[in-house]
Structure 1
Amino acid sequence: MAPLAHADRVRDLGAYQGVRTNQLTGYGIVVGLPGTGDDNLDYVTQAMRGVSGRLGLQLPPGVSPGLKNAAAVMITADLPAFAKPGQRIDVTVSTIGKAKSLRGGALIMAPLYGADGQIYAMAQGNLAVGGLGITAKDGSSLTVNVPTVGRIADGASVERAVQTGFDSGEVLRWNLFQADFMTAARVRDAINTRFPQTASVEDGVTLALRLPDGADRRASMMAAIEMIDVTPAETPAKVIVNSRTGTVVINSAVRLSPAAISHGKLVVKIDEKPTVSQPGPFSRGQTAITPNSQINAEEQAAHVALFKPGASLSSLVDALNKLGVSPSDLVAILEALKEAGSLKAEMEVI
């Protein structure tokens, strides 16, 4: 049977609870820099003492090593769901001090921690830096992109797996990306049509799925559920206004009640042309300035747009284009329509 028109797959509408990525962070040292490091920052010195101590090298007490070729960095990575020990993940390395560039550096082995404080991966490797920073002797400098952030492909080895519990729990929960009771009900009905008495709605986001025991059977059923086609509910009417850029986005669900819009501009122009009176030679007169102002007011022709009941987004856009409104005028018109009770939509300013 052909899929329904405008239908989405279940996997595009939500995700299984617990089957997700986890963020990892760590602190480390990048060495091998060509004089673009943090120099003698205290936390770099302490970190280098710790690294040297692990390698059996004890630095003399009270001596601060020159560290122009080293930089203190923060390491971040995403641990995918079901990642197993021995697998490799990418890491991003960013400076936290005054290092100018990480180009040419190598990250010394550093642990990556999860939110629970446990070590889940170990990171090490040579950095790939897309930015470039150059400084001349006279103090002038040139920076291309961001040279203080680098990346190491497959730079960390997973040391601990995260338990998701997808194969052991009696009920597996599936969450919508956006809360909607109608969409949740349609997903439930679609799943129960394919697998009777499997899904039930817990709230506007979550469905409880009763799946068979065993990882193999449960994974097969989860894969089949993800590919079921569902027609989601129409999105709520919403107008998004970006106050910084003046961008206005109106979705297709916006409707208008009967309304009339009049839009025009009044331009006032003031020209100052003072007259200078110069006294004659050898006279006792003084130079005088006589003000001379010219004020002109011009009102551009106002246009009126009439909207019939249930006017759609296309009607609104066509009318506003004919009025020739700017983004700031458009925001003012939409706000006035909402205050008048004609605009049936939620306005959100970001």
Structure 2
Amino acid sequence: MMHALFRFIFCWALAIAAITPAHAQETQIKGLGRFEGWRENALIGYGIVVGLAGSGDSPRSVVTRQALSNVYARLGAVISEADVASRNVAVVVVIASLPASANVGDRISVTVSSTADARSLAGGTLLMTPLVGPDGRPYALAQGAIITGGDSFESQLNLSQRNYPTTGRVDGGATVEREVNANLIGADGRLGFLLNDPNFTTASRIAAAINDRHGRIAEVIGADEIRIAFQPGDQDLAYFVSSLENLAIAPDRTPRVVINERTGTIVAGGDVMISSVVVSQGDIRVTVTAETQASQPSFIDGFAGGIRSLVITNTDLDVERGGNDVVARFPNTSVADLVQGLSRARVDTRRIISILQAVRAAGALHAEIIVQ
């Protein structure tokens, strides 16, 4: 019942999209891409989590013993690795993303993951851990209590685990120690705007909107890039970028049909068109059943040479013809009309997916099909 209701709502929505005129809605440029140089930076560090309730690394972990010995040495206590044996400690890798623009003292969140044989990081505290960038320079220091969102308990060979307790998060647990500023001006003295979805029409519309506002300063380099000239003496860079990213255009939309074969979901715009096509969908199921029997001879006075068991295979062929065979003719129409017509003919969603793929292969579906 719920499946039929879902199919009715889905087809009704597609039908409404098909009969409603498609008007491209204007979108701010900043929602269509980003300026070249404006990006996050990956940070990584290696640290220790303490305070675990016996769920840390086992004493046989050489890395953990060495790391804990080094921590004691930095704090003024000289303890050899052989004397370190605690399951309340775990060696972890700490990762974070540094924003494109950050000041000293800003707080960022970090993710902590066990690298040895710890069972859980729940209740642990991350000790001070430097986070370095790809250039090997430290940019932040991480420290704080870990929130895992899971737990693991073991007693007398009984184990209970919820979610994945060997990975946790410290919200706002890292402090930025080195200032970072994005460089938006390229070597040619121009800004680069990169589209998330490369499209020549959208790129041309962005360049036209910029030229209408600021004069002929924008040039389309490709389907994914626009170069914009900037004169430092004219205005401040921040105000100039703000005026650019708040311009609104109507982006071009590439016709697409998205199909999820696992869930049987079809998503398509109401303006995705199909040329005249005839669909013949037959439901024929062929089942071959083979049954093998062996006849074993019995002997009263011992075994006789040259006599073997007799193996007999019986095959049963069954051909089943479904009652939902469909032959339908569609003139120039949309995907919404096609799906609605097939649904009225009681064709289920997975067969509709196969039909759409066949129509696309025949060259009648004028859209890109994305199968997930």
Q: Tell me the TM-score normalized by structure 2.
A: 0.79
Change over 3 Å in CA distance of 1:47–1:23 after alignment to 2: same
Residue 351 of structure 2, aligned match among 321, 325, 329: 329
| 2:328 paired residue number | 305
Q: Is the 8 A contact 1:260 1:306 kept in 2?
A: yes
Matches for 1:60-75 after TM superposition, within 5 Å: 60=80, 63-75=82-94
Q: Which structure 2 residue ranges, 5 or more long, are not aligned? A: 1-22, 291-313
Q: Is 1:43 the equivalent of 2:63?
A: yes
Residue 77 of structure 1, aligned match among 96, 110, 125: 96
Distance 1:231 1:53 in 2: 62
Residues 63-91 of structure 1 show CA distances to partners (whole Å, capped at 9, x for unaligned) of: 15112000111111111121012211111
Q: Is 1:264 the equivalent of 2:282?
A: yes
Q: Is the 8 A contact 2:118 2:166 kept in 1?
A: yes
Residues 265-309 of structure 1 show CA distances to partners (whole Å, capped at 9, x for unaligned) of: 23568999xxxxxxxxxxxxxxxxxx9989674441422221112
What amino acid maps onto 1:55 in structure 2? L
Matches for 1:206-225 after TM superposition, within 5 Å: 206-213=225-232, 217-225=236-244
Give the deviation of 1:164 after TM superposition.
1.9
Q: Is the 8 A contact 1:167 1:214 kept in 2?
A: no
| 2:295 paired residue number | none
Q: Is the 8 A contact 1:239 1:346 kept in 2?
A: yes
Residue 125 of structure 1, aligned match among 121, 125, 144: 144
Task: For residue 202 of structure 1, give the secondary structure of its aligned residue in structure 2.
Answer: strand
Q: Is the 8 A contact 1:39 1:69 kept in 2?
A: no
Distance 1:57 1:95 in 2: 25
Q: Is the 8 A contact 2:141 2:175 kept in 1?
A: yes
Task: For residue 121 of structure 2, give the secondary structure of its aligned residue in structure 1.
Answer: coil
Distance 2:351 2:49 in 1: 52
What amino acid maps onto 2:35 in structure 1? Y
Distance 2:317 2:206 in 1: 70
Distance 1:189 1:14 in 2: 16
Distance 1:172 1:268 in 2: 63
RMSD, aligned α-carbons: 2.7
Structure number with higher relative contact order (C-alpha < 8 Å, ≥ 6 residues apart): 2
Q: Which moved more, 1:315-324 or 1:35-44?
A: 315-324
| 1:279 paired residue number | none
Q: Which structure 1 residue ranges, 5 or more long, are not aligned? A: 273-290
Change over 3 Å in CA distance of 1:70–1:89 after alignment to 2: same
| 1:315 paired residue number | 337
Q: Which moved more, 1:209-218 or 1:71-80?
A: 209-218
What amino acid maps onto 1:65 in structure 2? V
Q: Tell me the TM-score normalized by structure 1.
A: 0.84
Give the deviation of 1:260 after TM superposition.
0.9
Distance 1:341 1:101 in 2: 55
Residues 106-130 of structure 1 show CA distances to partners (whole Å, capped at 9, x for unaligned) of: 1111111112222111111111222
Q: Report sequence identity in percent.
A: 35
Residues 24-49 of structure 1 show CA distances to partners (whole Å, capped at 9, x for unaligned) of: 11111100101000122121112112
Matches for 1:1-350 after TM superposition, within 5 Å: 6-40=25-59, 41-60=61-80, 63-137=82-156, 139-166=157-184, 170-213=189-232, 217-235=236-254, 237-267=255-285, 297-309=320-332, 311-350=333-372
What amino acid maps onto 2:151 in structure 1? L
Give the deviation of 1:320 after TM superposition.
2.4
Change over 3 Å in CA distance of 1:60–1:270 after alignment to 2: closer
Q: Is the 8 A contact 1:167 1:218 kept in 2?
A: no
Distance 2:275 2:48 in 1: 63
- Give the paired residue count: 325
